[in-house]
Amino acid sequence: MPTSNHQQPAAGTSTWHLHLEGQVQGVGFRPFVYRLAGEHGLNGWVNNTVDGVHVEINAGEAAARTFLDDLIEKAPRLSRIVRHRIEPAEEQVFTGFNIIQSHAEGPANLLLTPDFAICEDCRKELLTPENRRFGYPFITCTNCGPRFSIARTLPYDRETTTMAVFKMCPVCEAEYENPLDRRYYSQTNSCPKCPVELQFFTHAGALIPEEPGRIIELVSRLWEEGKIIAIKGIGGYLLTCDAANDKALETLRQRKHRPSKPFALMFPDIETLRRTASLRPEEADLLLGPESPVVLVESEPSMLIAPGLSQTGAMLPYTPLYELLLRSFGKPIVATSGNRSNSPIVFRDEKALDDLGGIADFILTNNREIAVPQDDSVVRFTPFHKKKIILRRSRGMAPTFINSTLAGRGQNVFAGGAMMKSTFALLHRQNIYLSQYLGDLESFETEENYRHTVQHFFRLLGAKPDCIVADKHPNYPSTIFSRQLAADLGIPFKTVQHHLAHFAAVLGEYLLTDQPEPVLGVIWDGTGLGDDGMVWGGEFFSFANGSFRRSGHFGYFNFILGDKMPREPRISALSACHGLDGAELVLRKKFTETEWRLYTSMLNKGSALQTSSVGRIFDAVASLLGVSDLQTYEGEAAMLLENRALRYLRLHGLAFSDHYPAAPAKDGVIPTAALMQGILQDLQAGLSRDFIAAKFHYSLAVLVKTVARQSGLRKIAFSGGVFQNSVLVDFIIHCLGQDFELYFHEALSPNDENVAFGQLVLEQSGFDEMLL
C-alpha cells in the first residue's frame, strides 16, 4: 500500500483517531487525507470501512484538531461529511503515512455516493490525441464516473463493484497506486489496454464486430440515416435518434407507444444548446455540474419533440461515450429512457436485446454490468423567480440525502412510499437513504424492479429494519409489499395518510418539526386515500405542538369511473361542473350520446366516492379550455394548461387584479363549484383562453393567501405534485413572498417521490394522530 515518509513524531505527541462519516467513499477522500497529512507533516494511516473513513495520526492535541479542521474545510468537492469525531487512541508510533487495506467487517454506516458526470480533466484527456486515453469511451477518475450504479457491497472498493472483473494493466495500476495521480485509488480506472469493451448488435441480436472508434463513426452515420439506437449508459439504456429527423421521431413514438409525451434531447455541448434555447445561468450551471440532470429550458420544440409545450428537456453528454458520440454527430439527439411504455428502464444486457430489439434498429452495449438501474434526473426553474423544482430525483442525486431531522433516532425503519412516482426510504444507523425514482407501480415489471432495488439496498447496507411504514391505501403495491415484508421479518407495521406524509416531508426537509411556531400545510396533488375514505388532493393542514389538523379542503365533487377519470380530463370537467350554468353547452360535444346519458345519470344519482383533488380540478379546467380531453401520459393536461398560462404571462407579466371566487367557508371548505362557474362565465364572455388559464393559476395563489391570513400562520409549506407547476409557484411567491415564510421542496421533488421520506418523519417523530 502507498506510504509517505514524514518526520518522526515529536516528543509530547500522542495517537489520535479520527472518524468521518457521510459521502466519503468514491470521491477521492483517502488520497486527499494522504496528501493533507503530508502537508501537515503527520505520520499515521487512513482507510475505508463500512462506516466511513478512519484516520490515525501521531500528533499533539492542538495539531490533531487543526488537522481535523483542515480535513473538513478542504474536503473533496464531491464529498459530504455529516458526522465526525476525534478521540485519543492506543499509543502507537507510526513511520510515514499509509493508505491501508479497507475493512468490510461490521454493519454499514455511511452514505452511498451517487454517479457523477464526466469531469473537465477527463473530457480534456478524452479529446487530446496525444493522451493514452484519447477516444476511450470509459475514461474516469476519482472525480467522475459511476459509483452507486456499480456498487454491490460496501465499502466502496474495486473488488466490491462490477469493476472487479476488470484487471488493470501495469500503467493503470501505477496510476492507481500513485498518491500524486488523479486516479489514485480510482476504483473505475481503466484504459484501452485494459478496457471496458463496447459491443454493437443489430436489433435481431447479431454482433457487428468493429473497433471502438469505428463504432462511434457507425452510430453517427446510422443516426444520419434515421435509425434508432439503444445505448447503454450509467444507469440503463437510452433510446436515441436524430432530433431533427421527423421520420425517425415518428417511428420512435410509434414503436414506443408514446404518442405525445415529451422527449428529452442531448446536445453536443452548451454552445449548441444556447443556439437552440434561451438558457439562463442557473440552468447552465446545473447542466455543467457533476449531477448533470435533464433541465427544462425555454425553446420552441417541434410538435414531435414536446407537443404543445414551450420547453425542452435538455441534457449534455454526461459519460465519455456520449461525449464521443455527440461530438462525432455534431447535432442534438433524442435521448429517452430505454423501455416499453409503463415499464422500468432496461439495464440488463440480455433484456435489452430481448425487449429493445422491437424498438431500436441497433443496440450499443458494453461489458460493464449495472448493479442497480437509474433514470436521468429532471429539474426545472420557475420562469420569473427562478425557483428550482426537482421533477425526478435519480441519477446524480440519489440515494444521497443529508438531513438532520431524524438525527439521534435509534430505530432502523423502512418506508414503502406511494404508488405513482414510487420511491422508498430507509433510515439505517441514523443515515437516511432515499431511493432513486422507480416509476409508477402499475405493471408487474415495475413492481419487480421496486423489489429488486429494495433488496439491493438491504444487501448493500447489510440492513434489517426494526419497523416498516407505508401508505394507508391498502391496495398500493408498495403497501402490499411492505406489509408482507413486515410479516416475514416479524416486525411492527403501520400506515400513514398520504397527504400527511407529503406535509411531513416538507416539514422534515426544512427541520420544522421541532420548532415552536405553527405551520400551514398546502398539499395539492392528484389522489390519495383520505381518512374519511374519500379521494383527497386539495388539502390544507396545520401543524402545531406535534399535532396535525385538517383545517380545510376543496369542496368534494363526484369521483366516477375509477381510473378512467384521471385519464380523461373531460370526465373531471363533467363532474366538477355538474349542474352549473353553461356547462352543458361547453361539455356535451366532448361525449357521445351514450356516454352523456350514462355519465350524467351517474352524477345525478351521486357517487359514494367523492374527491377534493386539485389535480382533477386542473384536468377539468384544461378540458373546459379545450386544451386536453384525453391524456396520453400522467400530468399532460396540467402541463398544457400551464403552458397556456405562461404564454399569457410572458406578454403581460405576473401583475393581476382579477381572480375567481374561491374563499373558504367557515368550515374551511373551498367552493369548487364557484371556481368552475367563474371559468364558465369567462368562457361565455369570450375572454382569451390563455388569459383564463393565467387567471386560474393566479386565483389559486390568492386562495392560499386568503387561507393563510384567516389562519394567522406565517409559515406555509407546500407539497404534492401540483407544485411541479412553475407558474403556480411563481404566482405564490409573487403574492405571498413579502408577508409569509414559504417552504417549497428544494432537495426533494414535490410529487409522490417525497412520500417515503415523509413516512419516515411521521413514524420516527411520534406525532399525534391527525384531527379531522
What are 393-426's pLDDT values in tens digits? 999 999 988 887 776 667 899 999 999 999 999 9
The pTM of this model reads 0.93
pLDDT score of 710: 95
pLDDT of residue 110: 72
The average confidence (pLDDT) of the chain is: 94
In the predicted model, what is the mean pLDDT of residues 86-114?
A: 82
CA distances from 82 to 22, 24, 104 (A): 5, 9, 21
Q: Which of 597, 417, 406 is closest to 509 using CA atoms?
A: 406
Name the residue among 7, 13, 8, 9 with its Cα closest to residue 62.
13
Amino acid at 539: E
Whether the CA torsion 76, 82, 87, 91 is positive or negative: it is: negative
| Residue 772 scores a pLDDT above 60 | no
Distances from the Cα of 459 to the Cα of 149, 406, 641, 736, angstroms: 14, 23, 44, 46
Question: Given the C-alpha cell 439503444, which residue does it identify?
Answer: 230
Give pLDDT, residue 144: 95
Give dist(CA 119, CA 86) in Å, integer. Answer: 33
According to the model, what pLDDT value does residue 31 have? Answer: 86
Strand 97-99 relative to strand 3-4, pairing: antiparallel
**How many Cβ atoms sit within 10 Å of the Cβ of residue 283?**
23
What pLDDT does residue 5 have? 52
Confidence band, pLDDT 50/70/90 cuts, at residue 105: low
Question: Could you report the per-residue pLDDT of 324-376, keeping only the tens digit for each?
Answer: 999 999 999 999 999 987 889 999 999 999 999 999 999 999 999 999 999 99
307 cis-preceded (ω within 30 degrees of 0): no
Task: Output the pLDDT for position 407.
Answer: 67
Taking residues 484-511, report their average pLDDT. 97
Residue 253 has pLDDT above 90, yes or no: yes
DSSP run (H or E) holding 689: helix 689-711
* Per-residue pLDDT tens over the stretch 423-456: 999 999 888 999 999 999 999 999 999 999 999 9
* Torsion sign over Cα 163, 458, 78, 27: negative
Q: What is the pLDDT of residue 770?
A: 58
pLDDT of 1 higher than 70: no
pLDDT at 9 over 70: no
- Examine the pLDDT at 228 and tell me if it is beyond 80: yes
Residues 384, 734 contacting (CB under 8 angstroms): yes
What is the β-pairing status of strands 229-232 and 311-315?
unpaired
